[in-house]
């Protein structure tokens, strides 16, 4: 955009406050002017600002207004969607992508880019998993924070979304995610908390769904108590597009900006609510002040002067895509010699699937196809499409013809590069997947090819994970996700060894859909989805149930090998735990290892998954090089959410820290003793005998009184009575007056 076309800058007075605006002007600030912009208030010089998608590229619509990616948008770099980015396990790389997104937003005069999306991948069936980071909150939070820092370093705001517990597309505008407090805090909110605390996004986008019956867009607990009061968020809460149910309730709950425009209807509702006393004008003032601050922040950015460096951003997209590829299996076929006698099979090699459908759909500046990139290295390699990927499908005869043609091409090759994947119409924003299988025609093709030529490298294009029933039949599998516009060349980089793969699974690849944690309860019914697996999401589930998986969380191979020395851990003065582990590249080529630290607490008083990822680091090593890798486990990440006192509690004890290359490839272990938080439960007549016996003030007196009356040998009595509230049985085992006195003394402390 020409800088002269920018909206008038916020003129004076700089310290404009809600109090300077009329009631109608304040209400006007709280909702969009159209699909993508806020309202200007010309009288006092408040500019309109633009918010637009996101998250892995800029989707600024030139014409047409929709939020589902239907109309076109200005060309922008399509970086790897979150499914790929998170597989790098590298928040610094995410930050570099964020910088690039910020630069592109600034050039287009976009004030806020709508991302990142960090919802937990509760089920592989969620249609939008390609837009989300991980099944683990630490990975989601760390990667999300990296992106936000990068974007906002350019004077552009981010919008952390979708807050919260929006883990499916089915009935997404109404469904209630019914989730218990511990999983809600420890799994579903933890990543959001980390991003808010570490990176202070300018905005947070509240989700469409309800949480335990309350719409996220009008939940004072979520938007005010947790987000602002506990986490210290001081930005704007923006509604997901169309998430507003009751505007007045939403405003009171802390939902600042409604998007898109309601055509003035909800502004009028707010004005009427103030006039008839249902809404305190001070609540509206607080929201208007925050929105004025957002406009000020947006205007503080200097107008971009340089045009988009298309080549540089494409190169970054290629670097990130190369880092995102996960080498699932390799029996020595890869990397390919440059003179290998290859055949490329599979429509995805020619027609890359590099992003998902919906509001995140970017209009890329260019697109690299893997077939072209492979031919650029290995010459005129033969190709056959092998199968059809159109939504309409083709006849059985055409399916057979495509297969037979591909088999005859494969027969003559040394190595077959077989590009399989999920057709785009099978995964998208707006609806969930029905299964995790590759199309039957593709599986049949694979079987037919393996019969004539077993030297097959499978390259996958998919946004959500797929079952891999053929894993034992082929010598190599490359998980190439949806990798953005440079994914094709990045794939060739990895296949030929120009890039040594280092991506890791941020989500488990299960053997079967039936094994997955939410199987049976996803996507719920009649407006409710019960998160019955509780804390056991992703690898936490498979490990607790001791289930075999196809490839575990954190897995990813390299063309080199790494050896781990002994890990040591210590608690720092600030309570964080530092783990140091020597890692050596024992192979012949340079490579990158993702070192992962998982903790457990044997004998814990509360339910815990067998182990949980708490820290990770990505380290590049030359052949023979050893690095001393330092991982910092935040004390806060060791905490569980204690529902008795409604706060985070770090339990005391000897924490085991297992360090390794994946959740199921742990190489070294150490222990660290952590001095935890004290949980003091207020004494009452509803305290149990067991609890009162542990009370520091009266516990020993209670024991003495019982022993005096029943003798010291009566342990059985205490055992049976232990869980009785002390006030429940009048006169037994002690006079009520004595128990009341003990409780009152305990309460005085
Ligand atoms: C999506 C958001 C998106 C918004 C604007 C909604 O349907 O859920 O992720 O940012 O539309 O396009």
- DSSP annotation string for 252-281: HHT--BB-S--TTHHHHHHHHHHHTTSS-H
- Taking the centre of ligand 1 as the mean of its atom positions, its distance from the CA of residue 691, in whole angstroms, is 49
What does the pLDDT read at residue 63? 67
* SS3 state at 247: helix
What end-to-end distance do the CA atoms of the chain give, in Å? 67
Residue of the CA atom closest to atom 4 of ligand 1: 241
| Banded pLDDT at 731 (limits 50, 70, 90) | confident
Which among 368, 387, 380 is positioned nearest to 310, based on CA atoms? Answer: 368
- Output the six-digit token pair for 251: 């405003």
| d(CA 725, ligand 1 centre) in Å | 51
How many helices (H) and strands (E) the chain has is answered by 22, 25
**pLDDT score, position 721:** 84
Predicted pLDDT of residue 10: 58
What's the CA-to-centroid distance between 310 and ligand 1, angstroms?
Answer: 26
pLDDT for res 12: 44
Tell me the pLDDT tens digit for each residue of 240-261. 999 999 999 999 999 999 999 9
- Which ligand 1 atom is nearest residue 430's CA? 7
Q: Please, which residues have CB within 8 angstroms of residue 654's CB and are 6 or more apart in sequence?
A: 601, 602, 671, 672, 673, 674
- Mean pLDDT, the chain, whole residue set: 95
Residue 211's pLDDT is what?
A: 98
Nearest ligand 1 atom, CA 207: 8
Task: Tell me which residue has tokens 């699932």.
Answer: 328
Answer whether the bond into residue 456 is a cis peptide, omega within 30°. no
Contact 157, 113 (CB under 8 A): yes
pLDDT per residue over 602-652, tens digit each? 999 999 999 999 999 999 999 999 999 999 999 999 999 999 999 999 999
Residue 589 has pLDDT above 50, yes or no: yes
- Look at ligand 1, atom 3, and give the residue with the nearest C-alpha: 359
pLDDT value of position 399:
98
- DSSP β-bridge partners for residue 32: 38
pLDDT tens-digit readout, 79-132: 999 999 999 999 999 999 999 999 999 999 999 999 999 999 999 999 999 999
Ligand 1 atom with the smallest distance to the CA of 161 is 9
Task: Please determine, for residue 709, whether its predicted confidence score (pLDDT) is greater than 90.
Answer: no
Which residue owns the Cα nearest ligand 1 atom 5? 67
Residue 411 exposure: Cα atoms within 13 Å on the Cβ side: 9
Task: Give CA–CA dist 162/157, Å, rounded.
Answer: 16
Confidence check: pLDDT of 13 > 70: no
Ligand 1, atom 6: closest residue by C-alpha: 241
Q: Which of 73, 205, 206, 359 to mutate to test the pocket of ligand 1 (most atoms within 8 A of CB)?
A: 359
Kindly state the tokens that stand for 18: 């809600």
Contact 159, 105 (CB under 8 A): no
| Residues belonging to the active site | 240
In sequence order, what are the beta bridge partners of 129? Answer: none
- Atom 8, ligand 1: residue with shortest CA distance: 240
Q: What is the pLDDT of residue 68?
A: 72
Poorest-pLDDT segment among 183-192, 223-232, 502-511, 713-722: 713-722
In the structure encoding, which two tokens stand for residue 435, read together? Answer: 């299964």
Ligand 1 nearest-atom number relative to CA 54: 10
Query: Looking at residue 719, what is its pLDDT?
Result: 81
In this predicted structure, what is the pLDDT of residue 4? Answer: 43
Is the separation of the CB atoms in 253 and 223 below 8 Å? yes
Q: Which atom of ligand 1 is nearest to the CA of 208?
A: 8
Residue 65 alpha carbon to ligand 1 centre in Å: 12
**Which of 37, 110, 114 most suits a substitution to test ligand 1, by most atoms within 8 Å of the C-beta?**
114
Distance 358 CA to ligand 1 centre (A): 8
Q: DSSP 3-state assignment of 40?
A: coil
Strand pairing report for 476-479 and 326-330: antiparallel
Give residues with Cβ within 8 angstroms of 95, minimum separation 6: 146, 147, 149, 150, 153
Confidence bin at 11 (pLDDT 50/70/90): low
> What pTM was estimated for this model as a whole?
0.95
Give the DSSP letter of residue 226: I
> Residues 61, 67, 71, 73: is their CA dihedral positive or negative?
positive
For residue 242, is it left (φ>0), alpha (ψ between -120 and 50) or beta? left
Ligand 1 pocket at CB < 6 A: 53-54, 67, 114, 161, 240-241, 359
Give me the pLDDT at residue 443, please: 98
Q: Which of 519, 553, 522 is nearest to 539 (CA)?
A: 553
Interatomic CA distance for residues 662 and 155, integer angstroms: 37
Query: 290 CA distance to ligand 1 centroid (A)?
Result: 22
CA of 485 to the centre of ligand 1 (A): 21
What residue's CA is closest to ligand 1, atom 12? 67
- What local confidence, expressed as pLDDT, does residue 71 receive? 73
Q: How far is the CA of 359 from the centre of ligand 1 (A)?
A: 5
Closest atom, ligand 1, to C-alpha of 162:
9
Structure tokens at 410: 């494969």
Question: Distance (Å, rounded) from C-alpha 352 to C-alpha 346?
Answer: 10
pLDDT at 685 over 80: yes
Ligand 1 atom with the smallest distance to the CA of 131 is 9
Residue 80 CA, distance from chain mean position: 14
- Environment class of 434 (CB within 10 Å of its CB; exposed 0-12, middle 13-18, buried 19+): exposed
Q: Return the best residue to mutate from 68, 173, 241, 258 for the ligand 1 pocket (most ligand atoms within 8 A of CB).
A: 241
What are the tens digits of pLDDT across the range 389-419? Answer: 999 999 999 999 999 999 999 999 999 999 9
C-alpha R_g of the chain: 29
For ligand 1, mutation pick of 37, 50, 51, 53 (most atoms within 8 Å of CB): 53
- Bridge partners (DSSP) of residue 52 are 113
Beta-bridge mates of residue 238? 205, 257
Give the separation between CA 649 and CA 647, rounded to whole angstroms.
Answer: 6
Output the pLDDT for position 713. Answer: 67
DSSP string, 378-391: H-S--EE--S---T
Banded pLDDT at 64 (limits 50, 70, 90): low
Interatomic CA distance for residues 483 and 324, integer angstroms: 8
- pLDDT attached to residue 2: 44
Atom of ligand 1 nearest to the CA of 69: 12
Report d(CA 486, CA 352) in Å as an integer.
10
Q: How far is the CA of 208 from the centre of ligand 1 (A)?
A: 10
DSSP letters spanning 477-495: EEE-----TTHHHHHHHHH
For residue 351, how far is its CA from the centre of ligand 1 (angstroms)? 26
Residue that has been written with the tokens 């006169």 in this structure: 731
647-650 contacts, C-beta under 8 A, 24 or more apart = 648/185, 648/677, 649/676, 649/677, 649/679, 650/575, 650/674, 650/676, 650/677
Q: How far is the CA of 50 from the centre of ligand 1 (A)?
A: 14
* Beta carbons of 654 and 603 less than 8 angstroms apart: no
Give the mutation target among 51, 52, 67, 172 for probing the ligand 1 site: most ligand atoms within 8 A of CB: 67
């Amino acid at each position: 955009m020409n800088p002269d076309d920018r909206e008038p800058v916020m003129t004076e007075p700089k310290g404009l406050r809600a109090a300077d605006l009329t009631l109608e002007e304040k209400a006007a600030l709280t909702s969009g002017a159209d699909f993508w912009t806020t309202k200007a208030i010309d009288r006092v010089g408040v500019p309109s600002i633009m918010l637009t998608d996101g998250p892995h590229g800029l989707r600024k619509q030139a014409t047409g207004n929709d939020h589902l990616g239907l109309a076109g948008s200005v060309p922008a770099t399509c970086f790897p969607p979150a499914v790929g980015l998170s597989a790098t396990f590298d928040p610094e790389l995410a930050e570099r992508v964020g910088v690039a997104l910020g630069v592109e937003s600034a050039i287009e005069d976009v004030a806020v880019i709508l991302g990142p999306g960090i919802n937990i991948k509760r089920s592989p069936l969620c249609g939008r998993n390609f837009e989300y980071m991980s099944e683990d909150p630490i990975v989601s939070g760390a990667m999300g924070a990296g992106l936000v820092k990068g974007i906002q370093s350019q004077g552009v705001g981010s919008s952390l979304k979708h807050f919260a517990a929006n883990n499916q597309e089915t009935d997404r505008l109404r469904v209630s995610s019914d989730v218990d407090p511990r999983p809600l805090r420890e799994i579903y909110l933890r990543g959001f908390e980390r991003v808010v605390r570490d990176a202070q996004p300018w905005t947070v986008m509240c989700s469409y769904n309800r949480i335990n019956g309350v719409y996220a867009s009008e939940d004072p607990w979520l938007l005010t108590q947790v987000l602002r009061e506990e986490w210290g968020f001081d930005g704007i809460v923006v509604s997901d597009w169309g998430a507003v149910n009751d505007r007045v309730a939403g405003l009171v709950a802390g939902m600042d900006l409604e998007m898109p425009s309601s055509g003035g209807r909800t502004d009028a509702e707010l004005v009427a609510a103030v006039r008839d006393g249902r809404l305190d004008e001070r609540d509206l003032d607080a929201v208007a002040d925050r929105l004025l601050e957002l406009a000020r922040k947006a205007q503080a950015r200097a107008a971009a002067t340089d045009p988009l460096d298309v080549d540089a951003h494409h190169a970054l997209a290629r670097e990130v895509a190369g880092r995102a590829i996960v080498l699932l299996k390799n029996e020595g076929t890869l990397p390919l010699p440059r003179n290998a006698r290859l055949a490329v099979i599979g429509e995805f090699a020619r027609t890359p699937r590099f992003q998902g459908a919906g509001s995140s759909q970017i209009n890329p500046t260019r697109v690299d196809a893997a077939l072209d990139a492979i031919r650029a290295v290995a010459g005129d390699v033969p190709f056959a499409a092998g199968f059809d990927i159109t939504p309409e499908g083709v006849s059985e005869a055409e399916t057979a013809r495509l297969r037979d043609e591909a088999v005859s091409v494969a027969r003559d090759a040394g190595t077959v590069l077989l590009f399989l994947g999920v057709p785009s119409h099978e995964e998208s924003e707006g609806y969930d997947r029905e299964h995790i299988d590759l199309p039957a025609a593709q599986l049949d093709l694979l079987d037919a090819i393996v019969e004539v030529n077993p030297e097959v490298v499978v390259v996958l294009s998919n946004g959500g994970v797929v079952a891999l029933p053929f894993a034992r039949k082929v010598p190599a599998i490359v998980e190439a996700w949806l990798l953005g516009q440079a994914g094709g060349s990045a794939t060739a980089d990895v296949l030929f060894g120009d890039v040594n793969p280092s991506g890791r699974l941020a989500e488990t690849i299960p053997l079967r859909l039936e094994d997955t944690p939410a199987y049976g309860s996803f996507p719920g019914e009649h407006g409710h989805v019960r998160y019955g697996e509780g804390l056991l999401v992703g690898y936490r589930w498979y490990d607790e149930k001791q289930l075999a998986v196809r490839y575990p969380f954190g897995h990813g191979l390299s063309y080199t090998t790494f050896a781990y020395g002994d890990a040591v851990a210590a608690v720092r003065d600030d309570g964080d735990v530092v783990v140091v582990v020597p890692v050596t590249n024992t192979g012949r080529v340079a490579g990158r290892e993702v070192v992962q630290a998982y903790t457990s607490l044997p004998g814990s008083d509360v339910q815990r998954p067998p182990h949980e990822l708490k820290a990770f680091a990505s380290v590049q090593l030359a052949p023979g090089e050893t690095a001393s890798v330092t991982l910092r486990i935040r004390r806060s990440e060791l905490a569980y959410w204690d529902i008795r006192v409604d706060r985070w509690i770090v339990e005391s004890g000897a924490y085991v820290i297992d360090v390794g290359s994946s959740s199921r490839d742990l190489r070294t272990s150490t222990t660290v003793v952590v001095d935890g938080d004290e949980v003091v439960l207020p004494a009452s007549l509803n305290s149990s005998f067991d609890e009162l016996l542990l009370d520091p003030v009266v516990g020993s007196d209670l024991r003495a009184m019982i022993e005096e009356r029943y003798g010291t040998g009566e342990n059985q009595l205490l055992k049976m009575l232990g869980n009785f509230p002390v006030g429940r049985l009048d006169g037994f085992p002690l006079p009520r007056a004595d128990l009341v006195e003990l409780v009152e003394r305990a309460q005085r402390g």
